[in-house]
Amino acid sequence: MEWFNVGKIVNTHGIRGEVRVMSRTDFPEERFAIGNKLGLFTVGAKKPIMVKVASHRTHKNFNLLSFEGYPTINDVEAFKEGYLKIAEHDLGDLEEDAFYHHEILGCQVVSVEGEEIGKVTEILETGANDVWEVTPVSGKKHYIPYIEDVVKEVDIDEKKITIDVLDGLLS
């Protein structure tokens, strides 16, 4: 089974079993909803501890979570630096023209003329739109904005992205 990261536990919070989570998801209200089950991968663990969210609230830039069966700080101390993940079958459907990062990473990028440009190696979240780092076989990396004028087709099954190379885009 494949697991996908939705947050990292960076510390405990208070004495009542809350943990401070740095979110790695666009859907924290869904992923951290009360009753939702998550896989907790502690440092060095190969298998997750399955936890059920008992409470969720935000505080500053963090999500504060507590889990059923872990009511005190002593119960959650060992969770520090652990990762909260969801199983692949728990991923929801996205709206049209929206993709999970793992679907885009590794895709081959080609121009509308058929010229190979490289593979998507990283996704940068800039606020207005994502920017895909594309690494060619040789040469410098390119940064492709995920906007309608540039990205013409995304074929997840074929792991292929077709773009319109606007003037100055690859320089």
CATH of 101-163, one of 2.30.30.240, 3.50.4.10, 2.60.40.740, 2.60.40.420: 2.30.30.240
- Summarised one tens digit per residue, pLDDT across range 32-49 is 999 999 999 998 888 899
What letters, b where the CB count within 10 A reaches 16 and e where it falls short, cover 77-97?
eebeebbbbbeeebeeeeeee
* Domain boundary assignment for the chain: 3-90, 101-163
Instruction: Provide mean pLDDT across the span 107-116.
Output: 92
- In angstroms, rounded to a whole number, what is the distance separating the alpha carbons of residues 62 and 32? 12
Q: Which of 18-22, 23-27, 104-108, 140-144 has the weakest average pLDDT?
A: 23-27
* Over residues 44-60, mean pLDDT: 92
What pLDDT digit, counting tens, does each position of 95-109 carry? 666 677 777 889 999
Whether the Cβ atoms of residue 164 and residue 152 lie closer than 8 Å to each other: yes
Rounded to the nearest 10 degrees, how much is the dihedral formed by the CA atoms of 40, 98, 126, 56? -40
Q: What CATH class does 3-90 carry?
A: mainly beta
Instruction: Report yes or no: 161 and 108 within 8 Å, Cβ to Cβ.
Output: yes
Query: pLDDT band for position 160 (50/70/90)?
Result: very high
Q: Which residue has the tokens 């780092």?
A: 133
Per-residue pLDDT at 93? 62
More confidently predicted of 14 and 125: 14
